[in-house]
Amino acid sequence: MLRLSVSLMARRLTSMAIAALLACLAVSDSAEAAEPTVATQSGRVQGVTHGLVTSFKGIPFAAPPVGDLRWRDPRPVAPWKGVRMADAYGANCMQAAAPPGIIGQDKPRPMSEDCLYLNVWTPKPKADAGLPVMVWIHGGAYVIGSGALANTDGSALAGKGAVVVSFNYRLRQFGFFSHPAISGNSVETTANFGLLDQIAALKWVKRNIANFGGDPDNVTIFGESAGAKSVLALFASPLAYGLFSKGIAESSYLIPDMTREKAVEMSVKISDAVGLPGASATAKQLRDVPAEKLVALEGKGLSNAPVPISGDKVLPRSIDAVFRAGEEQPLPLILGNNSDDASVAAAFGVDPADVIGKIAAAGFVVKLLYPGVEDEKERARQATRDLIFTMPVRWIADRHAKKAPVWTYYFDYTAEKLRPERPNGVPHGDEIPYVFDTGDRDPVTKPVLTENDRAFANKVSEYWFNFAKSSAPAAQGAPAWPRDTRFVDRTLILADPIEAKENFMKIRLDVMIGMTKIVGAVAGPR
């Protein structure tokens, strides 16, 4: 009887041991199946995996710029304990509604002054995988935009082998401000808080991106419109040295930076507009103004849009002056614009007809530059595109090619089913879903995308990815992209078909470059 009991107990113990072992194995399997976590200098974050790509969204890269930190340089993030879920975008920075027709602006999202968050997409969330890093800077004239738009989702580029980063930066009066009580008019202080946020994001990348699989010494910054202007600003800023290795500027524009003096006038006018005593308002009074009250401000002279401010520690001199002197960072650069960038002229406060009028008043015969274009409105549209967008590509390329490799492009591919309604070509910002290969996510292109459109997007995103990877834009099965030089202008026409051209619009652009002083008058005093 005793032997039977001992035998029964042994069997039970064996069963319990097996059950415990199976439980351990189950826990081990569960741990392996759990979403990956990555260590940052502030704490661990847990991402979400879809297919072969893991995303980490809503990671703080600076302390919330609220209360006493409004209009101050970005401060370090407070460390956290445990694992922080990184499965949702942070709030957008404070902004008004986007104007109708702005490409890629999704439905409204939550807004907050607490908005300094970034997002990472990676195919290998493992330390020291050494993948190229692509950091996206969103556009929106420095008054709208977000790092959380559907057409800038980094999954497709990450699927090619990049670690992709997007982020928010302070906009409008929150990001660009120079009231005497805050920073005065000294070049040693900050007026471009939004640009300083961009630099803070790049510093975060430098310190942390290796743990996400990225190479901190191979960082490409790229952006569109105000994001492209920001790329050039970072090339020109003494505070951004060493934070990136190359850049891509998509549809930057020839509109002079706002001077520091004008920024002070703007900031004093803002103080008046919110009911404070203009230049006499205190820093506390200004920081106590509700964010919603500042966002609601409308009217001329209350914004720096669509340019940054020159004359502070971020941009001691204007972007134009730095490139003119050849003192920008000597790094590889891609520049280009779209065939209908003039579509955004109204948002910039530039009337194409006014462009023609001012040039004509200077004795410039526009008709000679646009043979065969008889319609005055069409001439005005093309002249605006070329003066504000196409000519600056050539002007910067000619100068920067003296210091570093340069490639230029002209984007003229419209989704096949959209061509009948877009006879003027590619609107401002419409290249973005091709760069990111997000046509099936973008609300504009998703309903109409064809296989030809998808194939074209794959080639464009491959050019961008390979530039980030090896400083040489290339795409399998697509034409070679020749470098632009000081002596031969070479442009890749991203159209159907893709082709490289020499001396693209050369006569027209050479004449316009010779008229840069008048072009400055067209853009208006800043």
Residue-wise pLDDT tens digits, 331-368: 999 999 999 999 998 666 677 777 666 665 554 568 88
Residue 17 lies in a domain: no
Q: What is the reported pLDDT for 358? A: 67
Residue with tokens 């008046």: 272
| CB 218, CB 243: distance < 8 Å | no
- What is the distance between the alpha carbons of residues 171 and 308, in angstroms, rounded to a whole number? 11
For residue 243, the model assigns a pLDDT of: 98
3-state SS, 426-480, equals CECCCCHHHHCCCCCCCCCCCCCCCHHHHHHHHHHHHHHHHHHHHCCCCCCCCCC
Contact 176, 198 (CB under 8 A): no
Q: Does residue 227 sit within a domain?
A: yes
Cα angle for residues 399, 405, 406 (degrees, 5° grid): 65
Asked, for residue 2, whether it belongs to a domain, the answer is no
Query: Using CA atoms, how far apart are residues 123 and 408, in angstroms rounded to an integer?
Result: 29
pLDDT in the model for residue 25: 37
The 3-state DSSP composition of the chain as helix, strand, coil percent (nearest 5) reads: 40, 15, 45
- Cβ atoms 92, 114 nearer than 8 A: no
pLDDT of residue 3: 41
The pLDDT, as a whole number, for residue 5 is 41
pLDDT of the residue at 99: 64
Taking 50 as the pLDDT cut, the residues of the chain under it are 1-33, 104, 363, 519, 521-525
- Decide: 147 and 168 in contact? Cβ < 8 Å: yes
Give the C-alpha separation, 148 to 57, whole Å: 9
Q: Is 52 exposed, middle or buried (0-12, 13-18, 19+ CB in 10 A)?
A: exposed
Domain assignment present for 20: no
What are the angstrom distances between the C-alpha of 85 and each of 38, 45, 142, 273?
11, 6, 29, 40
CA atoms 245, 156, 195, 56: torsion sign: negative
Cβ neighbours for 220, distance < 8 A, ≥ 6 positions apart: 132, 133, 134, 135, 244, 245, 246, 247, 248, 467, 468
In whole angstroms, give the CA distance from residue 255 to residue 345. Answer: 11
CA dihedral 392, 142, 462, 401 (to 10 degrees): 30
Q: What DSSP letter does each residue of 13-43 carry, written as one string? A: HHHHHHHHHHHHHHHHHHHHHSPPEEEETTE
Phi and psi, residue 494, nearest 5°: -85, 85
Contact 308, 258 (CB under 8 A): yes
- Asked if residue 30 belongs to a domain, the reply is no
Q: What is the pTM of this model?
A: 0.91
Say how many C-beta atoms besides its own lie within 10 A of residue 69's C-beta: 16
**174: three-class secondary structure by DSSP:** helix
Q: Of the candidates 244, 413, 458, 430, which has an alpha carbon nearest to the alpha carbon of residue 333?
A: 244
**Beta pairing partners, 294:** none
CA angle 387, 390, 392 (to 5 degrees): 75
**What is residue 107's predicted lDDT score, i.e. its pLDDT?**
61
Domain enclosing residue 451, as ranges: 37-337+344-523
The token duo for 492 is 């890749």
Q: Half-sphere exposure of residue 49, counting CA atoms within 13 Å on the CB side?
A: 12
Determine, yes or no, domain membership for 15: no
Per-residue tokens: 490: 């070479």
Residues in Cβ contact with 477 at an 8 Å cutoff, skipping those fewer than 6 apart:
459
pLDDT at 364: 55
Rg, the chain, Cα only:
26
Beta bridge mates, 398: none
Q: What are the Cα distances from residue 159, in Å, to 120, 122, 214, 481, 498?
A: 13, 8, 14, 23, 24
* Helix (H) and strand (E) counts in the chain: 17, 16
| Cα-Cα end-to-end distance for the chain | 102
CATH of the domain at 90: 3.40.50.1820
Pairing of strands 490-494, 499-502: antiparallel
Of 251, 108, 267, the C-alpha closest to 172 is 267
What pLDDT, on a 0 to 100 scale, did the predictor assign at position 444?
79
Nearest in space to 237 (alpha carbons), one of 165, 179, 317, 177: 317
Total number of domains constituting the chain: 1
Q: How far is CA 519 from CA 224, 235, 311, 388, 512, in A?
A: 21, 23, 22, 8, 8
Structure token digits, residue 323? 């490139």
Residue 282: how many other CB atoms lie within 10 Å: 14
Q: Can you read off the two tokens belonging to residue 505? A: 């619009």
In this structure, is residue 3 part of a structural domain?
no
Q: Which helix (H) or strand (E) holds 292?
A: helix 291-295
CA–CA dist 363, 297 (Å, integer): 39
Determine, yes or no, domain membership for 8.
no
